Chains A and B, each alone.
Chain A
Amino acid sequence: MPDQTGLELVAQRVREAVGDEAVVGTHHAYDRGSLEVAPARVHDVLTHLRDADEEPYGVLASLHGCDYLPSEPRLGVHYELLSMQSRERLNVKTRVTVEDPHVPTVTDLFPTADFHEREVYDFFGVVFDGHPDMRRILMPEDYEGHPQRRDFPMGGEPVLFTFNEHKLPRWYD
């Protein structure tokens, strides 16, 4: 994990290479460096980090989503990058709103992102533009809703106790 200064240097290099508006912020906490980028420039930032940077992060370890309700913008996508040469990990994240949840895909850079992006689409509704096969992966194909958003109900059914078992409708009714 690059320390605070290392993270700032990476952010500076990305700003120089890609553009000033690409990097929204940097966070360093709990031994983890996190680079926040604008959603539209994700592809360029990751291209730079993979190929052109002094310290190339060649492996995408994980791509996952997160719901930051109640703080806006709500849906976050995290990219965990790994550099095998220096054994360092960098986190790149973007945040999009529910109204416009579009992020460019990175499957051409990291083919591993295929299943991961489908999973983020399935559970959060973030549409990755340019993905070859944007379908639900874990839920049934005709499922409605995006389950892992914070305002999606947990579901399940009420537990039967002696005080409520006669009041709850049984499934054979």
Chain B
Amino acid sequence: MEVTRSKPGEDFRIKQLRAQQMLRGDLEDDDLQEYVEERLLLTKFEDAQNWARRNAIWPLGFGLACCAIEMITVIGSPRNDLSRFGAEVIRFSPRQADMLILSGRVSIKMAPIIRRIYDQMLEPKWVISMGACASSAGMFNNYALVAGADKFLPVDVYVPGCPPRPEALMYGIIKLQDKITSDPNLGWRERYHSQGTEEYPNVRPEAEPSTQAGERDA
């Protein structure tokens, strides 16, 4: 691909002149049409909404166990910096947060509390299950843990690892961002016939064999 560049000052000068003409009302029909078309972006409302939502996700500060250390490293460390992707604002109140990063093992005593916090979050909300212990039981398949947060919460992205590297968590968050822009109905929303992020618990999911699960991933 060839990149044609005019002299650095030229382009800007032309733009400046045309902007002055526009402000004075001097542009005629065709010129005006062209000028406006260059600066207009047509899109669907949902796409614009999703673009805004994906670039400003506010995570909820919720750390349970060892994965929380890596989560704090992702959010706070100067090397892996999450605020580049718009997720800088960590709100500790669930009413003000968008995304719940479940980092750490979910014990049976903590599960109802997590559910209550998830319910307190406002629409739209997403959940990232970080680490092996939050996605399945991890290596602790015993009496004290709930085997995976998706037993009581709908989860959007699972990030495996024990603990996942900070880069892995960031990749998970970027994948969530892609999911928000591309098709928010992927995943559990289809299964529950939900709209947006509201679940309708009385609808039974279709009993489909799980071997088809691989197709749905983008």
**Chain A contact residues, CB within 8 Å of chain B:** 139-140, 147, 152-157, 159, 165-166, 171-172
Instruction: For the complex, give the distance between the alpha carbons of A139 and B147 in Å.
Output: 17
Query: Contacting B205 at CB < 8 Å: which of A155, A165, A172?
Result: A172
B133 to chain A, nearest CB (A): 12
Instruction: For the complex, give the distance between the alpha carbons of A166 and B208 in Å.
Output: 10
Decide: A156 near B147, CB < 8 A? Known: A140-B108, A140-B109, A165-B210.
yes
Asked if B8 CB lies within 8 Å of chain A CBs, one says no
Chain B 103-134 against A: per-residue CB contact (8 Å), 1 yes, 0 no? 00000110000000000000000000000000
CB neighbors of A among B136-162 (8 A): 137, 140-145, 147, 151
Instruction: For the complex, give the distance between the alpha carbons of A140 and B109 in Å.
Output: 6
A86 to chain B, nearest CB (A): 38
Main secondary structure of the interface of A (DSSP, over half): loop
Asked if B209 CB lies within 8 Å of chain A CBs, one says yes
Chain B 73-114 against A: per-residue CB contact (8 Å), 1 yes, 0 no? 000000000000000000000000000000000001100000
Q: Are B144 and A166 in contact (CB under 8 A)?
A: no
Query: Contacting A155 at CB < 8 Å: which of B144, B151, B204?
Result: B144
Instruction: For the complex, give the distance between the alpha carbons of A140 and B143 in Å.
Output: 12
Interface size of B by Cβ–Cβ distance < 8 Å?
15
A-B contact pairs, 14 of them (CB 8 A): A139-B109, A140-B109, A147-B143, A147-B144, A153-B143, A155-B142, A155-B144, A156-B143, A157-B137, A157-B141, A157-B147, A159-B141, A166-B209, A172-B205
Residues of A within 8 A of B143 (CB): 147, 152-156
User: Apart from A147-B144, A156-B141, A171-B151, what 17 extra A-B contacts exist at CB < 8 Å?
Assistant: A139-B109, A139-B144, A140-B108, A147-B143, A152-B143, A153-B143, A154-B141, A155-B141, A155-B143, A155-B144, A156-B137, A156-B143, A157-B137, A157-B147, A159-B141, A166-B209, A172-B204
Main secondary structure of the interface of B (DSSP, over half): loop
Give the nearest-CB partner of A156 in chain B: B141
Residues of A within 8 A of B210 (CB): 165
B101 to chain A, nearest CB (A): 22
Q: Are B142 and A154 in contact (CB under 8 A)?
A: yes
Instruction: For the complex, give the distance between the alpha carbons of A63 and B134 in Å.
Output: 32
A10 to chain B, nearest CB (A): 38
Instruction: For the complex, give the distance between the alpha carbons of A6 and B147 in Å.
Output: 50
Chain B 26-46 against A: per-residue CB contact (8 Å), 1 yes, 0 no? 000000000000000000000
Instruction: For the complex, give the distance between the alpha carbons of A154 and B143 in Å.
Output: 6
A123 to chain B, nearest CB (A): 11
Task: Give the top 9 A-B pairs by smallest Cβ distance, nearest first.
Answer: A155-B143, A156-B141, A140-B109, A156-B142, A155-B142, A157-B147, A154-B142, A171-B151, A147-B143
Give the nearest-CB partner of B143 in chain A: A155
| Most chain A beta carbons < 10 A, residue from B142, B143, B144 | B143
Residues of A within 8 A of B137 (CB): 156-157
Chain B 204-218 against A: per-residue CB contact (8 Å), 1 yes, 0 no? 110001100000000
Instruction: For the complex, give the distance between the alpha carbons of A140 and B108 in Å.
Output: 8
Instruction: For the complex, give the distance between the alpha carbons of A90 and B213 in Å.
Output: 59
